[in-house]
């Protein structure tokens, strides 16, 4: 079923038990919404010794947006700004691929499960919601990303 | 089963139903509250305008321009007849959204009793689509007027107990929907319109969800203005309607300035044509207006009373089916009293976006999210709903597939 390429097991796992989800505690908090569906995310993080730490987020949204934010938290936490920038770039490229690339598993790890999303244009924004909040928070914390 | 409408025959008039959806499924289109599908008669009317009558209306002195003007004005007459009003009271816009913005901007420029300023009050309700909230909210902000509103009850009705506090002697405009686009609920407008007129204010009816689906007598309703969109009534996109009482339209200031809307022009000033031309600057969406005329002909031939009854039968059948599905909750009104053919629902533990995605695998087209009525959704304590809306081309088999897809959505996530 075509649907199974969208809702992979790993996505539903993250959806049911999202990582890094909790009230954001950092000084700089970003709030992003998807105006099409009303999904929202609040996210905070810090940069210590050039590494992203203490990333927490909270929000409401569909399985894709929630799972994607959860996976994003795993992938950028503990990474240097340069490493996280590469993950962000690879993920954004995957989402814009319209199903034409599979994604670099070495960099994207669990996030390659979201490759199927790129075949559903209406859902790409869902998958990117948490990532765009991360990018915004990183920039507001002084990272060049 | 004897049927109010011959849906099989109606469906054949809509070419879109020949299209295959994902997985080769047939289209079960349950999003007519967002936009309707178009019968071949409407598509032919648009094409026919371009192939036989295309010229700028109300300008040329040549034969073709006369023909264009004639079919264009015929369409205005058809809209007027459909609503039971005079053609001079029908203004063509590009959308219902534009009709409402036209009113708000015109009131901002208004003089005398049509002026809006500090101390004045504008009233809406929590049921409103953003298109009937934001023009008034922003008008209030720009002019220093105060925006007030009727609150919504959980069943989708309006709380009228605060009538005297909401509509006061300071009130200038009351703008409320005829039917909620999210819940299908029909607010009790008669006492609101009476209170509006008792304080000398004007009543604006957002009829986007009612005009395409039921017989309407705007004069009997007592509204001063009414708007609807062509594309929700089998017509093309790009054409909306504003109806207003002639004496008010003629006293109002224009919205857009340009060709066709003037009486005289000098380098330093201008005077305006009488309504409706005063509000129709520029070459209008002619083919679309003609297409709307064909759409209203189509609806009249089927019969608006029949369409309304048919939609309520489908709604009752769908409500019964939904309520029998464990985990599903119908939001808003629970029966078919004071409602139209629109149903919003939630499935426990599932986000509407995910629900709609699974339903799409069955060929079922529904709307998910806040439906451009975010304050209403917040008031219900939700982040969104899944919405099914019915029209004359839907039948019981559509509802059966719809119900099957709802169970499918619930189980797809529930079992994994």
pLDDT at A1 over 80: no
Looking at domain B43-300, which CATH architecture does it have?
A: 3-Layer(aba) Sandwich (3.40)
Chain B residues touching A64 at Cβ < 8 A: 353-354
pLDDT digits (tens, 9 = 90+) for A52-61: 999 999 999 9
Unique residue bearing structure tokens 């089998």? B234
Closest CA to B232 of B129, B103, B158, B306: B129
Closest CA to B99 of B258, B268, B276, B260: B276
Structure tokens at B26: 């047939």
pLDDT at B416 over 80: no
Nearest to A37 among B23, B353, B416 (CB): B353
Q: What does the pLDDT read at residue B415?
A: 67
Task: Return d(Cα B208, Cα B354) in angstroms, integer.
Answer: 28
Task: Return d(Cα B274, Cα B344) in angstroms, integer.
Answer: 43
Q: What does the pLDDT read at residue A138?
A: 96
Q: B372 catalytic, yes or no? A: yes
Residues 76-115 of A with CB under 8 A from B: none
Domain ranges of chain B: 7-30+303-414, 43-300
Residue of B nearest to A59 (CA): B383
Q: What does the pLDDT read at residue A36?
A: 83
Task: Return d(Cα A115, Cα A96) in angstroms, integer.
Answer: 10
State the sign of the Cα–Cα–Cα–Cα dihedral B344, B342, B310, B35: negative
User: Measured between CB atoms, does A9 come within 8 Å of chain B?
Assistant: yes
Q: What does the pLDDT read at residue B60?
A: 81
Cβ atoms of A41 and A65 closer than 8 Å: yes
What is the nearest CA distance from A7 to chain B, expressed in angstroms? 9
pLDDT digits (tens, 9 = 90+) for B185-198: 999 999 999 999 99
Structure tokens at A31: 């709030």
φ, ψ of residue B92 in degrees (nearest 5): -90, 130
Mean pLDDT over B242-247 rounds to 97
Question: Taking CB atoms and an 8 Å limit, are B384 and A37 in contact across chains?
Answer: yes
Question: Taking CB atoms and an 8 Å limit, are B369 and A38 in contact across chains?
Answer: yes
User: Measured between CB atoms, does A37 come within 8 Å of chain B?
Assistant: yes
pLDDT digits (tens, 9 = 90+) for B371-408: 999 999 999 999 999 999 999 999 999 999 999 999 99
What is the nearest CA distance from B142 to chain A, expressed in angstroms? 24
Residue B197: exposed, middle, or buried by beta-carbon count in 10 A (0-12, 13-18, 19+)? Answer: middle
Question: Taking CB atoms and an 8 Å limit, are A123 and B353 in contact across chains?
Answer: yes
Cβ atoms of B340 and B356 closer than 8 Å: no
Q: What does the pLDDT read at residue B3?
A: 86
SS (H, E, C) B63-128: HHHHHHHHHHHHHHHHHHHHHCCCHHHEEEECCHHHHHHHHHHHHHCCCHHHCCCCCCEEEEECCC
Residues 348-387 of B with CB under 8 A from A: 351-354, 357-358, 361, 368-370, 374, 377, 383-384
pLDDT at B182 over 70: yes
CB neighbours of residue A50 within 10 Å: 11
What is the nearest CA distance from B120 to chain A, expressed in angstroms? 31
pLDDT digits (tens, 9 = 90+) for B132-159: 999 999 999 999 999 999 999 999 999 9
Question: Taking CB atoms and an 8 Å limit, are B357 and A2 in contact across chains?
Answer: no
pLDDT at B414 over 90: no
Q: Half-sphere exposure of A61 toward its Cβ, with a 13 Å CA cutoff? A: 31
Q: What does the pLDDT read at residue B386?
A: 98
Question: Taking CB atoms and an 8 Å limit, are B354 and A62 in contact across chains?
Answer: yes
What is the nearest CA distance from B408 to chain A, expressed in angstroms? 12
User: Measured between CB atoms, does A39 come within 8 Å of chain B?
Assistant: yes
Nearest to B22 among A2, A36, A39 (CB): A2
Nearest to B354 among A2, A9, A63 (CB): A63
Beta bridge partners of B244: B225
Q: Is the pTM of this model over 0.90?
A: yes
According to CATH, the topology of domain B7-30+303-414 is 3.90.1150
Residue A66: exposed, middle, or buried by beta-carbon count in 10 A (0-12, 13-18, 19+)? Answer: buried
Query: What does pLDDT average to over chain A?
Result: 94
Residue of A nearest to B369 (CA): A37
Q: What does the pLDDT read at residue B2?
A: 59
Chain A residues touching B23 at Cβ < 8 A: 2
Residues 229-268 of B with CB under 8 A from A: none
Nearest to A63 among B23, B351, B383 (CB): B351
Question: Taking CB atoms and an 8 Å limit, are A60 and B358 in contact across chains?
Answer: no
pLDDT at A2 over 80: no
User: Measured between CB atoms, does A14 come within 8 Å of chain B?
Assistant: no
User: What does the DSSP assignment read for B234-258?
Assistant: T--TT-EEEEE-HHHHHHSPPSS-S
User: Measured between CB atoms, does B412 come within 8 Å of chain A?
Assistant: yes
From B158, B364, B372, B406, the catalytic residue:
B372
Question: Taking CB atoms and an 8 Å limit, are A63 and B358 in contact across chains?
Answer: no
ipTM of model:
0.90
Beta bridge partners of A21: A57
What is the nearest CA distance from A91 to chain B, expressed in angstroms? 21
Chain A residues touching B412 at Cβ < 8 A: 3, 7
Chain B residues touching A126 at Cβ < 8 A: 353
Closest CA to B239 of B134, B359, B91: B91
What is the nearest CA distance from B181 to chain A, expressed in angstroms? 16
Nearest to A60 among B22, B383, B412 (CB): B383
Mean pLDDT over B28-35 rounds to 98
- Domains of chain A are 2-140 (3.90.1010.10)
* Cα A1 versus chain centre, distance: 25
Mean pLDDT over B302-308 rounds to 98
What are the helix (H) ranges across B266-385? 286-302, 304-323, 352-360, 374-379
Chain B residues touching A60 at Cβ < 8 A: 383
φ, ψ of residue A52 in degrees (nearest 5): -75, 125
Spatial CB neighbours of A46, under 8 Å, sequence gap ≥ 6: A26, A52, A53, A54, A141
Task: Return d(Cα A14, Cα B269) in angstroms, integer.
Answer: 66
Q: What does the pLDDT read at residue B363?
A: 98
pLDDT at B335 over 80: yes
Question: Taking CB atoms and an 8 Å limit, are B351 and A61 in contact across chains?
Answer: yes
Give the SS3 label for residue B365.
Answer: strand
Residue B305: exposed, middle, or buried by beta-carbon count in 10 A (0-12, 13-18, 19+)? Answer: exposed
Question: Taking CB atoms and an 8 Å limit, are B354 and A123 in contact across chains?
Answer: no
pLDDT at B14 over 90: yes
């Amino acid at each position: 079923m075509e649907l199974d390429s969208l809702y992979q097991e790993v996505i539903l796992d993250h959806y049911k038990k999202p990582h890094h989800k909790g009230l954001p505690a950092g000084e700089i908090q970003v709030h992003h919404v998807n105006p099409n569906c009303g999904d929202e995310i609040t996210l905070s993080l810090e940069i210590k010794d050039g590494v992203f730490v203490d990333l927490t987020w909270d929000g409401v949204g569909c399985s894709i947006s929630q799972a994607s934010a959860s996976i994003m938290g795993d992938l950028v936490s503990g990474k240097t700004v340069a490493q996280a920038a590469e993950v962000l770039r690879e993920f954004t490229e995957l989402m814009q691929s319209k199903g034409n690339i599979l994604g670099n598993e070495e960099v994207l790890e669990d996030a390659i499960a979201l490759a199927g999303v790129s075949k559903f244009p209406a859902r790409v924004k869902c998958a990117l919601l948490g990532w765009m909040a991360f990018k915004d928070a990183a920039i507001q914390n002084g990272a060049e990303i | 089963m004897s049927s109010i409408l011959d849906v099989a025959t109606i469906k054949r008039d809509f070419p879109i139903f020949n299209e295959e959806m994902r997985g080769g499924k047939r289209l079960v289109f349950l999003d007519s509250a967002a936009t309707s599908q178009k019968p071949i008669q409407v598509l032919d009317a648009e094409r026919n305008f371009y192939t036989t009558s295309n010229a700028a209306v109300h300008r040329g002195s040549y034969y073709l321009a006369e023909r264009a003007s004639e079919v264009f004005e015929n369409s205005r007459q058809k809209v007027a007849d459909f609503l039971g009003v005079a053609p001079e009271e029908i203004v063509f816009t590009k959308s219902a959204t534009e009709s409402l913005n036209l009113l708000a901007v015109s009131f901002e420029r208004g003089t005398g009793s049509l002026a809006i300023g500090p101390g004045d009050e504008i009233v809406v309700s929590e049921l409103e689509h953003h298109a009937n909230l934001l023009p008034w909210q922003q008008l209030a902000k720009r002019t220093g007027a105060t925006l007030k509103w009727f609150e919504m009850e959980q069943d989708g009705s309006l709380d009228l107990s605060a009538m005297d506090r909401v509509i006061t002697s300071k009130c200038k405009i009351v703008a409320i929907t005829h039917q909620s686009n999210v819940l299908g609920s029909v607010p009790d407008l008669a006492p609101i319109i009476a209170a509006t007129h008792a304080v000398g204010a004007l009543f604006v009816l957002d009829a986007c969800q009612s005009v395409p689906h039921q017989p309407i007598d705007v004069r009997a309703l007592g509204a001063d203005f009414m708007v609807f969109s062509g594309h929700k009534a089998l017509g093309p996109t790009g054409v909306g309607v504003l109806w207003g009482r002639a004496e008010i339209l003629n006293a109002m200031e224009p919205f857009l300035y340009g060709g066709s809307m003037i009486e005289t022009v000098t380098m330093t000033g201008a005077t305006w044509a009488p309504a409706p031309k005063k509000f129709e600057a520029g070459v209008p969406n002619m083919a679309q207006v003609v297409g709307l005329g064909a759409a209203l002909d189509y609806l009249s031939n089927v019969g608006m009373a029949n369409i309304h009854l048919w939609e309520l039968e489908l709604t009752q059948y769908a409500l019964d089916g939904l309520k029998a599905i464990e985990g599903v909750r119908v939001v808003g009104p629970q029966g078919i009293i004071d409602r139209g053919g629109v149903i919003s629902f939630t499935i426990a533990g599932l986000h509407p976006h995910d629900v709609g995605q699974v339903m799409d695998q069955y060929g079922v087209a529904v709307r998910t999210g806040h439906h451009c009525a975010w304050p209403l959704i917040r008031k219900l304590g939700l982040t969104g709903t899944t919405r099914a809306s019915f029209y004359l081309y839907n039948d019981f088999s559509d509802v059966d597939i719809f119900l099957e897809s709802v169970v499918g959505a619930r189980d797809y996530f529930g079992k994994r």
